[in-house]
Amino acid sequence: MRNRGRPVAALVSSLALVWSFLALPAAAQAAPPAPAATPPMGFNNWNAFGCDVSERLIKETADVLVSSGLKDAGYQYVNIDDCWSLRERGPDGRLVPDPAKFPGGIAGVADYVHDKGLKLGIYGDAGTKTCAGYPGSLGHEELDAQTWADWGVDYLKYDNCNNQSDGSQEDYIRRYTAMRQALDKTGRVIVYSICEWGTSQPWTWAKGVGHLWRTTGDISDNWASLRSIIRQNAPLAPYAGPGHWNDPDMMEIGNGGMTATEYRTHLSMWAMMAAPLIIGTDLRAASAETLSILGNRALIAIDQDRLGVQGAVVSDGNGLMVLDKPLANGDRAIALYNSTDTLATVSVATGLTGLRPAGAYRLTDVWSGAETQVKSTISAGVPAHGTVVYRVRPLRDPAGVAPAVAVGAELGTVVPGPTGGGTLTTTVTNRGVGAIRDVSVAANVPEGWTATPTPSPERARLATDATLRTTWRLDVPAGTPAGHYPIDITASYRWGPRHRPATTSSQIIATVVTAPEDGRRHLSTISPVTSANATGPVETDQSNGGALENDGNLITIAGHVHQRGLGTTTGSELRYYLGGRCSRLVTDVGVDDEAQGGPATFTVYADDTAAATSGPVAAGEAPKPLTADLTGAAWLRLVADSPTPGTHADWATPILTCGDVPDDSPTLPESQTLFSFESGTDGFTIANPGDGGTVAPSPLFHTQGANGLAVSTPVAGNWFGRTLAAPVDLSGRTMLKFDLKAGDVGTVGEIAVQVGESFTWCQGGLWTWTNPHSSRTVTERFDQISCPVGVTLDRSDIRAVWVFLNTGGEVLIDDIRAE
């Protein structure tokens, strides 16, 4: 046989090279990278767009990932979430992309994304239908996995709605393992994201099944949600590692519900927790600030570090947390996290971290790039809701590196006027090796304010770990509006043998309080000046369920349900500034039905005088009414106490009266009830007759009047509501609400409206989950409700209102309303 092309000698040489390569030990051969060896990075459309997903959106997002530099920073997955398919499978049983949304099909989108050097993700559900009611994959695992593989999909987010589950961990393992096996059978590498909301503690079983697993419920674009998720995910460090990651959900950075400081905390803590970095904002319209936060390569390097260790919690108390994460090059990443509402000095001794002993340490701030040195304590003044992250390594010669100087401050409430003002305390602490000299501190207050220091805000010399403490008297002009005002604290000093000048600054936010305006209002609509609680946060318009935000039920005392109130535990105190302008507080008090305990004693203080007290109230006892005379009081205090702190203690429907108003004046904010079910079902029907469901009046649950509505829900869910007899004008209203109590299997709650003569369907997409036998108010802001392109949600022309319920059990609802 003639050898064509290369000489025989060259061919023999090549074969020898191939044979020698094959003969190498397996470890010496270049193996393909393992899936999700570092936490996945990319984009998902849900947080910003909900069901409004399309081929155009995905392609344009891929373009921006490339043009913005985010692809080069490590973001590679472009993930499609729910609502991408038709409502029914095709004749062959396969999932069918919606041709209106994806005219080129998913395979065409995959080709486009791959050509950009990116990867494509898709969404599925381990139930009969997705959370938005599209076909689920339960019982179709192999067919769907092969379909996605054939299309070129690289990533699967696998949700948990309509799951037919008995609630056992064994069922969760079975359903999610079925898809794992189906993906393996395709032969295609597909990163597998388990999205069962942490329900079955997947961190204890999902390693080897999924590459990442959700540890919490859905994130929302607000500080309370972010703080709660950090608290839930941070302790799970032992369960994470290369190829198996704790997933605290997609990022909200850039969506507008939080401050830049909070968004920096978002990325900082996700990176420290080795979390997947999945962008959830419209990158096509992202601001330079948003792109700068998302593209912080120093933080991304910490998240993507090949060692693959989630940062461990070193200390956690009083809202301050320190995380320590080892890095592959021997550095440590140290995060100082402040979840409180004011500037705080967060510190950790180097000996409590994994740093090896040294005479000094170099700190590199991953946000500013500044380099400083410390002797034995890492410390910083961290703004409210902020996080400082350092890369830290031992330092042999600290003489040429500036010392770390922590500037802190404390400030109580500020009241305008000659008899008010406030007290500011500042601290300057030298943490570096060697003394600093000519130390002075200045407080830059808003125009018109004055800050008078005592003692002198100067010190000639400040040794290592020494502190300069200064107290300032603040005077604030009368008439200053209530609000938040920044005060910059700047320390100036000289350091090193050459006496180099340097400054360090922190910012504290002064809270100016003024008395409430005239009127009768629900106390839960007024923010307390201070709030202390024995267990978790004080909850607004719900009970205190436990340690996390928004984990309670509707306030329920001896079977009576309240829409408004404050959920506390015994061992709590709330303070409100009244300024001598309020006359009365009326409230019911009692121990919540959700958790037996007590007894609890409730006391209302007008300044330091007890204006009303309940005496001991036992669990199961009917609520006790309290009326407190607050005439002339500057401060209102609510105290719940008992011999056993932690009893769930409710202030139910507290109404504060201020100014000269009649007793029968309306209570603010006013609600406009749309459906109350007092005379029957109010004509409720189902939007999709083929999907099933029934309604009937019921006295078993009511938050207004004596009756509610019992809804028998289909497993996959349906919309319940009706067309209104005449258009309703909801101009001036900002949100829609309804109250519900779930049965044995829990439910998703959602709200939609139809508007205009065409009865256009507009929907929010929040899909609020309520656990079995739990209750809550489902809320949808009008600015969260999306209409089809070209349609404006005209609040003056509401034609129909619908609520979505699912999971195949009975759900009780009442009082569908606008506020």
Pick from 309, 308, 296: nearest CA to 265: 296
> Are residues 555 and 460 part of one domain?
no
Per the domain annotation, does 49 fall within a domain? yes
Contact 194, 356 (CB under 8 A): no
Give the model's confidence band at 167: pLDDT under 50 very low, under 70 low, under 90 confident, else very high.
confident
Which pLDDT belongs to residue 26? 42
Pick from 150, 124, 146: nearest CA to 137: 124
**Is residue 629 annotated as part of the catalytic site, yes or no?**
no
Out of 81, 159, 282, 650, the active site residue is 159
Angle separating helix axes 141-151 and 105-115, nearest 10 degrees = 50
The arithmetic mean of pLDDT across residues 442-460, rounded, is: 95
> Are residues 488 and 530 part of one domain?
no
Residue 20 has pLDDT above 50, yes or no: no
Give the model's confidence band at 612: pLDDT under 50 very low, under 70 low, under 90 confident, else very high.
very high
Per the domain annotation, does 28 fall within a domain? no
CATH code for position 253: 3.20.20.70
The arithmetic mean of pLDDT across residues 601-611, rounded, is: 97
Distance CA 670, CA 667 (A): 6
Residue 13 has pLDDT above 50, yes or no: no
Distance CA 812, CA 443 (A): 56
| 603-609 contacts, C-beta under 8 A, 24 or more apart | 603/638, 603/639, 603/640, 603/641, 604/628, 604/636, 604/637, 604/638, 605/635, 605/636, 605/637, 605/638, 605/639, 606/630, 606/631, 606/632, 606/633, 606/635, 606/636, 607/633, 607/634, 607/635, 609/633
Choose one of 309, 329, 350: the last residue of a domain: 309
Pick from 722, 721, 726, 725: nearest CA to 711: 721
Residue 165 has pLDDT above 60, yes or no: yes
Out of 218, 221, 650, 691, the active site residue is 218
Per the domain annotation, does 2 fall within a domain? no
Contact 102, 84 (CB under 8 A): yes
> Are residues 455 and 562 part of one domain?
no
- Type of residue at 640: A
Distance CA 168, CA 144 (A): 25
- Reported as a single tens digit per residue, the pLDDT across 339-381 is 999 999 999 999 999 999 999 999 999 999 999 999 999 999 9
Contact 512, 476 (CB under 8 A): yes
Per the domain annotation, does 31 fall within a domain? no
Which pLDDT belongs to residue 745? 83
- Reported as a single tens digit per residue, the pLDDT across 739-793 is 999 998 888 899 999 999 999 999 986 778 888 899 999 999 999 898 988 899 9
**Lookup result for tokens 């003044």:** 381
DSSP H or E stretch at residue 314 = strand 312-317
> Are residues 217 and 142 part of one domain?
yes
Which pLDDT belongs to residue 30? 52
CATH code for position 812: 2.60.120.260
Contact 89, 96 (CB under 8 A): yes
CATH code for position 621: 2.60.120.1060
- Reported as a single tens digit per residue, the pLDDT across 146-160 is 999 999 999 999 999
> Are residues 713 and 616 part of one domain?
no
Choose one of 620, 646, 668: the last residue of a domain: 668
The arithmetic mean of pLDDT across residues 460-465, rounded, is: 98
The total number of structural domains in the chain stands at 4
Mean pLDDT for the chain overall: 93
Residues pairing with 569 in the sheet: 648
> Are residues 539 and 496 part of one domain?
no
Per the domain annotation, does 33 fall within a domain? no
Per the domain annotation, does 315 fall within a domain? no
- Tokens read off for 202: 């997947």
The alpha carbons of the chain give a radius of gyration, in whole angstroms, of 30
> Are residues 442 and 574 part of one domain?
no
> Are residues 681 and 561 part of one domain?
no
Per the domain annotation, does 19 fall within a domain? no
Give the model's confidence band at 31: pLDDT under 50 very low, under 70 low, under 90 confident, else very high.
low
* Percent of the chain predicted with pLDDT > 70: 96
> Are residues 247 and 351 part of one domain?
no
Per the domain annotation, does 588 fall within a domain? yes
Give the model's confidence band at 333: pLDDT under 50 very low, under 70 low, under 90 confident, else very high.
very high
- Reported as a single tens digit per residue, the pLDDT across 168-227 is 999 999 999 999 999 999 999 999 999 999 999 999 999 999 999 999 988 989 898 899
Distance CA 798, CA 732 (A): 13
Residue 288 has pLDDT above 90, yes or no: yes
> Are residues 421 and 274 part of one domain?
no
> Are residues 273 and 150 part of one domain?
yes
Q: What are phi and psi of 634, to 5 degrees?
A: -80, -30
Give the model's confidence band at 4: pLDDT under 50 very low, under 70 low, under 90 confident, else very high.
very low
> Are residues 261 and 232 part of one domain?
yes
Choose one of 285, 309, 333: the last residue of a domain: 309
**Is residue 218 annotated as part of the catalytic site, yes or no?**
yes
The arithmetic mean of pLDDT across residues 443-466, rounded, is: 96
- Reported as a single tens digit per residue, the pLDDT across 301-328 is 999 999 999 999 999 999 999 999 999 9
Q: Which domain holds residue 391?
A: 320-512
Which pLDDT belongs to residue 807? 77
Pick from 390, 384, 387: nearest CA to 409: 384
Residue 662 has pLDDT above 90, yes or no: no
Read off the DSSP letter of residue 177. H
Q: What angle do CA 812, 814, 819 make, to 5 degrees?
A: 140
Which pLDDT belongs to residue 3? 31
